[in-house]
A and B are shown apart, each in its own frame.
Chain A
Amino acid sequence: MNKNKYLKIVKDLTPKEKKLENSALAFLMGGVLGFIAEGIKLLLVYNLHLTVKDATTWVLIIYILMASIFTALSFFDKLVMKYKCGLIVPITGFAHSITSSALDYKTDGLITGVGASFFKLAGCILLYGIVSAFFFAIIKVIIYV
């Protein structure tokens, strides 16, 4: 069968993803996460008298911890599937990817399993995060010096 003809049939009959709805959900979820984070930060600043910088760090720690625990309790993946980038882009997504990899490979040994696969998904974020940080730092130095 002709390749283009078949690809046209496939394109016509494959359901389209609801991009607008997905984006809207992700945007709202991201906003809700930010809103809660700001709330926790203000609580820490005004009740426990932490500095804003320390409070921000604590908020991140709480988010990472909660995402990891929720992943282990096996309902966070369902939330991620629903709200997609709303939970993947914030730091919760990073924690989720690491915890889920670790859970998956815990039966394959500490070195060959968990150790080797811990950053299976998050590895690329680390690598390209560090590389791009390096280049942005150079740009910053060039602009300000």
Chain B
Amino acid sequence: MFNFKDVYLTDYYVVAGPFEKESGVKNCDLYLEDDYYNEKTMEKAEAKMQKTILNKLIDNKTELIVGGDLTNQLTAFALSTMNINIPSMGMYSACATSASSLITLSTFIQSKLIKEGIFITSSHNLAAEKQFRFPVEYGAPKPARSSSTATAAVGIKLSKTPSKIKIVSATLGKTIDSYIKDAHNMGAVMALGAVKTLIEHLTITNTTIKDYDLILTGDLGKVGENIFKETLKQEYNLSIKNHFDAGAEFYKNFEYAGASGTAAQALMLVTKYIHQKKYKKILYLATGSLHSPVLVNQKNTIPTVTHAIYLEVEK
């Protein structure tokens, strides 16, 4: 549990892919015409999305870049920060990277080591499919419980300069066993981690669910959010009404359970819930399914981690 006093979200920039635009994702700063973004490979396209954001957000006060993505060994992050001449630090907690990076950056600012830093993350549908699943053009049938990686990139600038969006506190989650071996059912993998971190955050801060205007989980999807609610109900006798899931907000008209990916969660957080200014007290639970093809092929149960950030948005 960390308390922050002088950490503010001062700016953000969001890039989204064509399929996201088609499925009704609004308020992004830039929509790509096609998945390749005028590059030869999808990995380079993902890096270019990050680079575009960095170019928009970096100013002469930027002291640190923290971020990550889903490509092998953070290829996109490495390419996007190359030759930018600002210290950078890559991070990986699967889809929870958005929160772990934001918490790290906030800690740097709170401890007065830096005054301003940028968080960057991206996910690219084609690059993630190639790495985690099957070749892009291979029509491997997807079950209804599976989610689709969103093509998007999000950059957020944190600073000690006051703004209307304040990062108040955060709870770093603990990695736990989800008991699930099925990588298609990522909602079920992550729901248990989300429940654990939520309960832990509520216990430590001595708050209840009703103290928050909105509890936003990451990319549980339509299947995962039901499991999340049911687990809370059965295990802790809690019912949750002020809850949305970022992943389930995507692709409502398509057959998937929703979107996944590091950028999907951060995108919904800034473009929908922070942008609206409807909710003042937002508890953001970034959920991550820490699986890899090796881990799944060797028939392990999938570890999961969820990090929580509490933000306050003033009108």
Q: Which chain A residues have a beta carbon within 8 Å of chain B's beta carbons?
A: 1, 3, 5-7, 9-10, 12-15, 17, 22, 71-72, 74, 76-81, 84, 87, 96-97, 99-101, 103-105, 107, 120-121
Is there contact, CB below 8 Å, between A1 and B235? yes
* Leading 8 A-B pairs by shortest Cβ distance: A80-B139, A77-B139, A104-B135, A100-B138, A100-B137, A100-B135, A10-B188, A107-B41
Interface size, B (range) = 20 to 34
**Interface of B, helix, strand, loop or mixed by DSSP:** loop
Set of chain B residues within 8 Å of A78, measured between Cβ atoms: 139
User: Is B230 in contact with A104, judged by CB distance below 8 angstroms?
Assistant: no
Contact of B179 among A3, A17, A76, A107 (CB under 8 A): A3
**Does A13 contact B135, Cβ atoms closer than 8 Å?**
no
Bound complex: CA A9 to CA B226 (Å): 9
Contact indicator A5/B234 (Cβ below 8 Å): yes
Say which one of B22-30, B83-91, B141-149, B305-313 lies at the interface with A: B141-149
Give me the interface of B with A, judged by CB distance under 8 Å: 40-41, 130, 134-145, 179-180, 185, 188, 191-192, 195, 223, 226-227, 230-231, 234-235
Task: Collect the chain B residues with CB atoms within 8 Å of residue A103's CB.
Answer: 135-137
Judge whether A6 and B138 touch: CB under 8 Å.
no
CA distance A84 to B143 in the complex (A): 11
When distances are taken between beta carbons in the complex, the residues of chain B under 8 Å from A5 are 234-235
Pick from B135, B143, B180, B235: contact of A121, CB under 8 Å: B135
Q: In whole angstroms, how far apart are the Cα atoms of A71 and B134 in the complex?
A: 14
